[in-house]
Amino acid sequence: MKKLSTLVLALAAAGAAQADTVSYQFSNSLATTEIHQSGQLGFFDTNLGVLSGIALSINGKMLSSITLTNNAAQQQSPIAKGTVDLYFASDLGALNLLFAASNPLSMSATVNNIVLQSSETRVFDNLYAEKAAMFDLQLNSMWADFSRAGGGAFNVSCTSVSGIAVSGGGGNIEASQATDAACGAKITYTYGPATQVPEPASLALVALALVGAGAAARRRPA
């Protein structure tokens, strides 16, 4: 029976191995904020087979330059944080509602551990940050929304809100920010064959295993 169990497990693994995936993605280039970017992702083509899972990821990145000037009469040690919040949307109604509930995708780049002398101005370049968010289980009730015979595409867009916050310096720190940002997205569909009929060879192997197991049981001494 142990050999039979091993065979059954092997056949189950072979069935699982039949699952396949198809992905669609887009990635926009960095642009000066505030940004309004978009891209297209593909629907699942039901002609490929039976959909068994969806994973959608959204992502963003920012590249910032922060300029600080100390207007106090004495040295200061400020902390400056540049931020970019990305608000995602879609022309696919169910997905747009999910985005609205989860927005924003927030990124930040911080300047700290610095000392500014009185009247000193310093520029901090190449402050980079990126972030991503994944949706999978949240999409389980939306499989029909993402499925189309023949495929097709839907839009995903993002809008940025950027800013800068300064703490320390007694209100005597003048700050400015120049920021680029971008967004992207990727969707992956997992699917199996349209019909899950066992192959004749697999059925024959199971039948032989059952016969062999029965014969072995009959030969076992009492």
Q: What are phi and psi of 138, to 5 degrees?
A: -65, -15
pTM: 0.81
Element spanning 38, H or E: strand 36-42
What integer pLDDT is reported at residue 8 of this predicted model? 42
Distance between CA atoms of 18 and 38, rounded to whole angstroms? Answer: 34
Distance between CA atoms of 63 and 127, rounded to whole angstroms? Answer: 5
Per-residue pLDDT of the chain (222 residues; tens, 9 = 90+): 544 444 444 444 444 457 899 999 999 999 999 999 999 999 999 999 999 999 999 999 999 999 999 999 999 999 999 999 999 999 999 999 999 999 999 999 999 999 999 999 999 999 999 999 999 999 999 999 999 999 999 999 999 999 999 999 999 999 999 999 999 999 999 999 987 555 554 444 444 455 455 544 455 554
Rounded alpha-carbon distances, angstroms, from residue 200 to 88, 164, 203, 204: 49, 67, 5, 6
Distance between CA atoms of 54 and 143, rounded to whole angstroms? Answer: 8
What integer pLDDT is reported at residue 58 of this predicted model? 99
